[in-house]
Amino acid sequence: MSYDRCASASSVGERFALVLKDHPHRRFNPLRQEWVLVSPHRNDRPWQGHVDPPPSDAELTFDPACYLCPGNERARGIRNPLYASTFAFDNDFPALMPTTPAFASANDLLVTRSERGVCRVVCFSPRHDLTLARMELSALRAVVERWIEEYQRLAAIPWVQYAIVFENRGPMMGASNPHPHGQIWATETVPNEPAREQEAFTRHQSQHGECLLCSYAALETRLVERIVCGNDAFLAIVPFWAVWPFETLLISRRHIGSLHELQDAERAALADVLRRLFTRYDNLFEAPFPYSMGFHQRPIGQQSEGDWHLHVHVYPPLMRSATIRKWIVGFELLGSPQRDLTPELAASRLQGASERHYRLRAKEEAAR
């Protein structure tokens, strides 16, 4: 340990920050109840791994070959309407189906259970070339309203216990089509990740008498260092325990459990903070930034109102440039999650990124 450097710091907090900056350490994720290994000294290692070509910024507002563009044909001869805002439909190739019959294994070692579900696709815009970062705020607000409408429709199905609203952005995150869209999967049981978070919320409430994310948001608000952006209703934070290189956590400032509980102003605020955050992502590397984003909400039908807090996870895979891939492998896969880029460094880079999209700046400069 570089003790002399730490000893010169004027406070315990500064000494602690220096240790975290310079030395390998573990951080505890209270939502997942697991440790994350952080190795900040590895940031200077050379990279000779996979490098992708820079993505194209070519404009294509309508693609006649795209099965999500208005008026085009999808699978089995289904034709999209000439939609002008958002558009949702049942996935033509769903991972889950509502008609799956009930079955279960009787073997204690070979355990299986049937799972019903509904998979919906939500097109964010008729424009083929847009992303959430580049949409007008009013159009993004319409996406928020569509998410809420779809969530409530699925929640009304008697056997549905959970619904995850999510978006995979970019081919390296598994997006099969560049048209701006996301999905909603409704399931008969609560999936692993929100179920684990539910246990963490309940445990924290029982032990401390307060909500885990209410307490965490208050702490990060005092510390400021890892806050990327925010408004009156939401905070975007690089969490202290982040695993993905530029992972962020969006937390509602008000203690609510589900999207449909958002008030009118909060719905507008959600659209605002999403656009600002995703613009920062794009500007960080001046390229359409890939990520997986998803909402975690209270399980449908849960009786207790106090044991859940609405939040959004954003997991981007890129490390140091717009072309470097970094997958979870090796020790991360076989041991514990591990990261080289500290959450504090990731937050500082996102904080330094503009909220005016780089493509708008480029057009303005070209017009001068």
Closest C-alpha to 277, from 147, 67, 132: 132
Q: Specify the pairing of strand 34-38 against strand 338-339.
A: parallel
41 is catalytic: no
Q: How far is CA 284 from the centre of its chain?
A: 17
Q: Which position among 128, 179, 181, 357 bears the catalytic label?
A: 181
Instruction: Report the catalytic residues.
Output: 181
